[in-house]
């Protein structure tokens, strides 16, 4: 089979490699599409080589069809259309049984190496791809919609006035966060922030009331003017590539505001009664509701998916994603002819 192997800085090579073996609990999945994620292009930008099954998290947003199921597989059969749930988990420990797979006590490797014709995936790390969404767009439902909606649900589960919500960073996660917060009651205004005008334009189309360029000098004052000079109620920090923005985000919050770091970054400093929280990926039990939001048209996938490249042109795809944020959002690799 064909697979992309890292052969150096900014260089993947598509090579012939042996197809993966499957164990009794695994499914062999024919990958149709695999979306590029921030972790993928960060890996691509790094020095060094990496064989197909080496470390790294490249290619973890796959959609495909089960080719063969191991003899212990009970939930799936050949021909099922599936998405990957990348957080490797055992499925049996107390945390997994409670439906908190990202807290698994016996975590398994992340489901990766999706820039290939086939992957082997443990059966608990697959999700059913909805029949009426094509597999290309479906690649965005698991990680992208999942991560955004999990962050929003976690933040809004705290009983605070939602009022004015600021979303920092309007890449794919930020744009799904803009759409996601719009589906909740009590949100009066959504403000999107990103230095790239093209991304701000899309945020307006997808439900933001106002967008701002966070590099403008008066941005802190502008956001602090919300709520009669007290700042914004909620801030979602989705600015993965700008870890320094977090202190500015924090300063623009009301004294009882809530900062959700979708990026996983943390901060220090005087906190008053502001709440600072983080989030990672999502729980499988949230998936059906996420699919429903997509099928109801409340979360739109197509505007966020801007490009498709065949596997053999993966370097162009990752370069576009890594170096041209003004031209591309989600870039998807096609692994089928």
Task: Report the residue from 22, 81, 82, 104 that binds Zn ion according to the rule CB under 5 A.
Answer: 104
Tell me how far apart the alpha carbons of residues 5 and 149 are, in angstroms, rounded to a whole number: 32
Tell me how far apart the alpha carbons of residues 250 and 192 are, in angstroms, rounded to a whole number: 15
96 binds Zn ion (CB under 5 A): yes
Residue 281: CB minimum distance to Zn ion, A:
9
Tell me how far apart the alpha carbons of residues 136 and 34 are, in angstroms, rounded to a whole number: 8
6 binds Zn ion (CB under 5 A): no
Tell me how far apart the alpha carbons of residues 154 and 177 are, in angstroms, rounded to a whole number: 12
Residue 265: CB minimum distance to Zn ion, A:
16
Residue 275: CB minimum distance to Zn ion, A:
26
145 binds Zn ion (CB under 5 A): no
Give one DSSP letter per residue of 98-137, joined into a string: TT-GGG-SSPPPP----SBSEEEEEGGGEEEPPTTS-HHH
37 versus 164: smaller Cβ distance to Zn ion: 37
Task: Tell me how many residues contact Zn ion (CB under 5 A).
Answer: 7
108 binds Zn ion (CB under 5 A): no
37 binds Zn ion (CB under 5 A): yes
332 binds Zn ion (CB under 5 A): no
89 binds Zn ion (CB under 5 A): yes
**CB closest to Zn ion, residue no:** 37
Give one DSSP letter per residue of 74-90, joined into a string: -S--TT-EEEE--S---
43 binds Zn ion (CB under 5 A): no
34 versus 96: smaller Cβ distance to Zn ion: 96
- Which range touches Zn ion (CB under 5 A), out of 69-77, 143-151, 237-245, 307-315? 143-151
Q: How many CB atoms lie within 10 A of CB 129?
A: 22
113 binds Zn ion (CB under 5 A): no
193 binds Zn ion (CB under 5 A): no
What are the φ/ψ torsions at residue 333 (nearest 5 degrees)? -95, 130
93 binds Zn ion (CB under 5 A): yes
- Which range touches Zn ion (CB under 5 A), out of 70-78, 90-98, 122-130, 133-141? 90-98
Give one DSSP letter per residue of 143-207, joined into a string: IIIHHHHHHHHHHHTS-S--EEEEEE--SHHHHHHHHHHTTSTTEEEEEEE-S-HHHHHHHHHTT
120 binds Zn ion (CB under 5 A): no
Residue 53: CB minimum distance to Zn ion, A:
19
Q: At what angle do helices 172-181 and 146-156 cross, to 10 degrees?
A: 50
Residue 209: CB minimum distance to Zn ion, A:
28
How many residues are recorded in the chain?
337
Q: Which residues bind Zn ion (CB under 5 A)?
A: 37, 89-90, 93, 96, 104, 143
């Amino acid at each position: 089979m064909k697979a992309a192997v890292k052969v150096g800085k900014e260089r993947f090579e598509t090579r012939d490699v042996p197809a993966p073996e499957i164990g009794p609990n695994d499914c062999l999945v024919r990958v149709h599409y695999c979306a590029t994620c921030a972790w993928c292009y960060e890996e691509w930008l790094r020095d060094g080589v990496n064989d197909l099954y080496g470390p790294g998290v490249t290619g973890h947003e796959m959609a495909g069809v089960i080719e063969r199921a191991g003899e212990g597989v009970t939930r799936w059969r050949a021909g099922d259309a599936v998405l990957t749930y990348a957080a490797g988990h055992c499925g049996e420990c107390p945390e997994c049984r409670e439906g908190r797979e990202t807290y698994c006590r016996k975590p398994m490797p992340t489901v990766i190496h999706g820039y290939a014709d086939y992957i082997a995936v443990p059966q608990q790390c697959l999700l059913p791809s909805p029949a009426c969404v094509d597999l290309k767009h479906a690649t965005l439902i698991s990680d992208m919609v999942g991560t955004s909606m999990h962050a929003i649900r976690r933040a809004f589960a705290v009983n605070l006035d939602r009022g004015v919500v600021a979303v920092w960073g309007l890449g794919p996660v930020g744009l799904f966060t803009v759409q996601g917060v719009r589906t909740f009651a009590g949100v009066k205004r959504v403000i999107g922030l990103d230095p790239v005008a093209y991304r701000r334009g899309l945020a307006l189309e997808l439900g933001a009331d106002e967008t701002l360029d966070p590099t403008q000098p008066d941005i802190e004052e502008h956001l602090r003017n919300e709520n009669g000079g007290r700042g914004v109620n909620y801030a979602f920090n989705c600015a993965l590539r700008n870890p320094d923005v977090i202190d500015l985000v924090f300063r623009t919050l009301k004294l009882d505001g809530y900062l959700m770091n979708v990026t996983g970054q943390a901060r220090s400093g005087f906190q008053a009664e502001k709440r600072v929280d983080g989030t990672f990926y999502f729980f499988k039990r949230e998936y059906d509701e996420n699919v429903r939001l997509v099928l109801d048209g409340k979360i739109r996938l197509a505007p966020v998916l801007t490009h498709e490249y065949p596997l053999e042109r993966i370097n162009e795809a990752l370069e576009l994603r890594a170096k041209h944020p003004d031209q591309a959002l989600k870039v998807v690799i096609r692994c089928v002819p």
